[in-house]
Structure 1
Amino acid sequence: MKVLIVDDEMLARKRIRKIFADNEGIELFEASSGSQAVSMIQAERPEIVFLDIKMTDFSGFEVLQRIEPSIIPLTIFVTAYDDYAIAAFENQAIDYVLKPYKEKRVLDALDRAIKKIETAQKSDSYDAIYTRFNQLFDQLQDLKKKAKPFLEKIVLKVGRKYVFAYTEDIKYITSSAYYAELFMADGKKYIYRTSMTALMERIDPDSFIRLNRSTIVQIKCIAEVISEGYGDYCVVMVDGQKFNVSKSYKTTFKKQLTLGK
């Protein structure tokens, strides 16, 4: 049986591969992006795919939309967040697994998919499965229309001018009294009158992570994470700036970055 693992995080793919290492009846393939996943599914025709929802190029849902319905594999969605997407496909997808993975949960999802394949082969009911995927896509599109969009840019008044600070160019944000200081990739710094909590609600949680009460960082600008013992962590940014992770944010921090113990 061919199983495709799709995730833009190498460690996440490695984790699933390790779980299946002793199963000689499974032939494993990997894809590190949505576009690569589409090519792999078309070329290898896997029966089952573990498909990450949020990737750098496009989502796992968009991967399936780009594939001819007749070759869509049974899909186990993978996500780090138990958010609105889960509610949309909880009763319609084959299964979903939350990060960080637990071995038993992954194996249970695989077993459920195998049983679906056996049932479909006996009853010739693949068309019903593909119809469920299409229903899922429609529901997600409706949810996206209703969802509050994340900020792509922040309009700031600097003297007599208005400046656009694009969120993708923010390295990190620190608090200063009732203001937030935005540190940009080009070295500039802007002051934005808002609270850290209010700002965190408006920016993409897949791109930013809060380390403590006074610090939010862009995940792609993290150079390394240092474990300092006793469960403490220090984050080093690409420009060398260091921030500590407070105890109240440590659990969310480890889950979002899929860090082990």
Structure 2
Amino acid sequence: MFSALVIDDELLAREELIELLEETGDIEVIGEANNAIEGLKKINQLKPDVVFLDIQMPQITGIELLAMLDSDTMPRVVFVTAYDQFAIQAFEENAFDYLLKPVDTARLRKTVQRLIKADHVNDIDYAQLAPAQLDHVPCYGHNRIVIISSKDIEFAYSDLSGVHIQTATQKTTSQLTLKVLEEKTPLMRCHRQYLINLSAIKEIKLLENGLAEIITASEQKVPVSRRYLKALKERLGFH
């Protein structure tokens, strides 16, 4: 039995797919989401075996959501799409599984059989399809969801309560991991728990024992560990 999450902004399409999935007897739908931001949150919370992901959604598309997932913990993904045959051919050539709207029961059964045959092994390189860089990062702050431009982030850091994003004017919390932010945004590692945007650096104070401290454009302080100081200085042109 596979646990599944269905992400689709169309309520009727979502309900229909959930019903079809549960009728297979091999899929247990443990959650649903009506947009990519909520979908990302539920993927991290519920950790489903497979995600049925609509591609065309407002604000953040299914393809953009793909780039926000950590490759180390990523579930299998089945795309749900109304794309034309040219796009479908691209999915087939790269072994991405997909369902064409409206979902056909026989085609869904093939997808389920493929999941069973794969035995939970995620052998597909979704990076081929996902954007190399994230232009925007979804965040949460004071009972609201905000979409922050990647270039506006001064730094990001993690603590026991999660991953936090700091801009010049606000602090928010993100569902993205530091690893994804490091790989997909302009942020660079400067400490085990901190990432810095090089364009936000106003000053670097060299401290004792090979440590340093960054002062950002908005006068925020960011620690730099010995491990990352050399690479940081090299990126800034100091050798």
Structure 1 length-normalised TM: 0.46
More helix by share: 1
Structure 2 length-normalised TM: 0.50
Q: Which has the higher contact order (CA 8 A, sep 6+)?
A: 2
